[in-house]
Amino acid sequence: MPFSLFVQNVLNGAGLGLLYALVAIGYTIVYGILRLINFAHGDIFMMAMFFVYYGAFLTPIPWGICAVLAIGLTILLGVTIERVGYRPLRGAPRVSGLCAAIGMSFFLENFAIVVFGGRPKPFLYPDVLDKVVIIAGIHIRAITFITPVVCVVALLGLNYLIHRTKMGLAMRAASRDFDTARVMGVDINKTVSFTFGIGSGLAAIGAILWAARYPQIHPFIGVFPGWKAFTAAVIGGIGSINGAIAGGFLIGFFTIMLVAFFPSLSGYKDVFVFVILIVTLLLKPTGLFGELE
Amino acid sequence: MLKIKNLNVFYGGIHALQGISLDVPKGKIVTLIGANGAGKSTTLRTLSGLVKARDGQIKLDGEEILGLPSNEIVARGVAMVPEGRKIFPNLTVRENLAIGAFQRNNKAEISKDEELVFTLFPRIKERVSQKGGTLSGGEQQMLAVGRALMSHPKLLTLDEPSLGLAPLLVKGVFDIIKHIHEEGRTVFLVEQNAFAALKLADYAYVMEVGKITLQGTGQELLQNDQVRKAYLGG
Ligand SMILES: Nc1ncnc2c1ncn2[C@@H]1O[C@H](COP(=O)(O)OP(=O)(O)O)[C@@H](O)[C@H]1O
Ligand SMILES: [Mg+2]
């Protein structure tokens, strides 16, 4: 394989890995605080794409601003889903939350079919993302280069929120012990909303980059990335942010590498993901990293 | 400062607090003693808004706080050192202190209180960047007290701070509580270690299966035959 192709594959793998990481974080932080697997997370991811799609398609607002607005709307959506769908079940047996999450997922998918239509739509994005840049003689599509950069910036932002802000502190405390966090003055409802907001915001960033890479969107587009990101979170150790990043990166990076180096095996790339899952769980049932730090 | 009146609390069918009433006057140290399962923690948890009451009153400086959310109760000046310390193991010592001040925003005043906690517990200062989970039991208890003080409370409540500590450390904990009280803080102390608690307290209540059965000054109860038999080993 020529060196330039190799570099392209590495960037591609890093990009996909980081995209999975962004989505996986949403699963892991929600689980960390509520012990709930938010099955609607992949559908929140899908909705973000449609927000950008309709923003760019129906309004004269520039694409970049549409993307930012879509991230805001997605955050609002995630917070609302928790408020309406999950909060009334707080304290109920875990299986109730699980059912609510599955129901929410079906609801969003069917809502999208009815309102947006089931036929795949071409996702519009600015031409600059398609521009081929040449760095040290290597040809790279701008989006391939931009994806990992944006993801890393998002992760740095996340790190700041979690470790340097009061809400982040509340989140880490509440993920260990609701009652003690409460008697310290933490408002649990606000903290949970904040958590859903962060998770949904990261999913939206991931979704927009994803759609620019694979520019065809439809109501079920979130299902498979959602499952894989969830798998990534489990591999990393559900509840752990670092774990979700590691798990997402592992899955995305190795999928791309497998296809690049063993093209004949590319049909097995999803099997490969679940092999990583099974091996991890056999060797370390709690995943690579323990819990939310 | 704190007045509890006819408080009734149920856990499902269990009548855990059966119409208890008690007073914690300003500037005093009041203790609630009783055997395991008497309802001491339930009293504190109801006061902090973690447990809902069926009926009754809890007044703080004349204002009803029963039914308020916990964060609101903290904001009004009630801090708790929970049973079993409940240090956040995943947060550093400094973050554990910071979360104690969660309701406050004045950075200068918060760091003044942090300095105060450090003066009180030099050991804690040495360990500010360690994770809470790596501290010893005694250090965790100090941190739990320091964390509660970070909210600059009017009323400090402690749930069995001596539980599970070696005798030497127990003495240290009671000395600290005494010191905090002498600095002018109102203290409501729940204990099974009746002897130490009664020696410290201005006033004391004895609780048995959800009811207050005896009350008096610490000295009176130390002399009381019933108390001596039941809690002080003869
Ligand atoms: N969460 C709970 N659910 C049901 N029963 C409880 C709960 N917490 C405490 N109890 C019961 O209430 C009674 C009082 O408990 P508690 O207040 O913890 O006593 P103490 O602190 O004096 O040991 C006990 O009978 C205990 O079993
Ligand atoms: Mg107790």
| Of B43, B74, B230, B36, the residue nearest B156 (C-alpha) | B74
- Ligand 1 pocket list (CB less than 6 A): B 11, 14, 16, 34, 36-42
Q: Ligand 2 center to residue A169 CA distance, Å?
A: 27
Mutate to test the interface with A, among B43, B68, B71, B80 (most CBs of A within 10 A): B71
* Residues in contact with B132: Cβ distance below 8 Å, sequence separation at least 6, in sequence order: B87, B88, B89, B90, B91, B92, B93, B95, B96, B140, B143
Give the C-alpha separation, A197 to A192, whole Å. 9
- CB contact, 8 Å: A293 with chain B? yes
Give the count of Cβ contacts less than 8 A between chain A and B.
Answer: 63
Task: Copy the structure tokens of residue B100.
Answer: 């104690």
Residues in chain A: 293
Partners of B34 in the β-ladder:
B207
Which residues in A lie closer than 8 A to residue B70 (C-beta atoms)?
A: 182-183, 185
Contact A181/B at CB under 8 A: yes
Please tell me the distance from the alpha carbon of residue A211 to that of residue A66, in angstroms, as a whole number.
14
pLDDT value at position A293?
43
Query: What pLDDT is attached to residue B234?
Result: 58
C-alpha B70 – ligand 1 centre gap (Å): 19
CA B93 – CA B88 distance, rounded (Å): 9
- Looking at residue A89, its pLDDT comes to 96
Hey, what are A42's tokens?
Answer: 């992949």
Asked if A187 lies within 8 A of B69 by C-beta distance, the reply is yes
CA distances from A54 to A75, A156, A208, A215, B184 (A): 17, 29, 13, 14, 63
**pLDDT attached to residue B129:** 97
Q: Which of B11, B22, B48, B80 to mutate to test the pocket of ligand 1 (most atoms within 8 A of CB)?
A: B11
Q: Could you tell me the residue ranges of all domains in chain A?
A: 3-220
Nearest to A126 by CA among A59, A48, A63, A66: A63
Q: How confident is the model at residue A292, as a pLDDT? A: 42
**Interface check A179 vs B, CB under 8 A:** yes
pLDDT for the residue numbered B29? 97
The whole-model pTM stands at: 0.93
From first to last of its 234 residues, what are the pLDDT tens digits of chain B? Answer: 999 999 999 999 999 999 999 999 999 999 999 999 999 999 999 999 999 999 999 999 999 999 999 999 999 999 999 999 999 999 999 999 999 999 999 999 999 999 999 999 999 999 999 999 999 999 999 999 999 999 999 999 999 999 989 988 999 999 999 999 999 899 999 999 999 999 999 999 999 999 999 999 999 999 998 888 887 775
What Cα–Cα distance (Å) separates residue A62 from each residue in A59, A144, A175? 8, 22, 39
pLDDT per residue of chain A (293 residues) written in tens, 0 to 9: 788 888 889 999 999 999 999 999 999 999 999 999 999 999 999 999 999 999 999 999 999 999 999 999 999 999 999 999 999 999 899 999 999 999 999 999 999 999 999 999 999 999 999 899 888 788 888 999 999 999 999 999 999 999 999 999 999 999 999 999 999 999 999 999 999 999 999 999 999 999 999 999 999 999 999 999 999 999 999 999 999 999 999 999 999 999 999 999 988 888 888 888 899 889 888 898 875 44
**Residues B102, A185: C-beta atoms closer than 8 Å:** yes
Residue A32 corresponds to which tokens in the numbers above? 């960390």
B75 alpha carbon – ligand 1 mean position (Å): 26
Closest CA to ligand 1's atom 7: B11
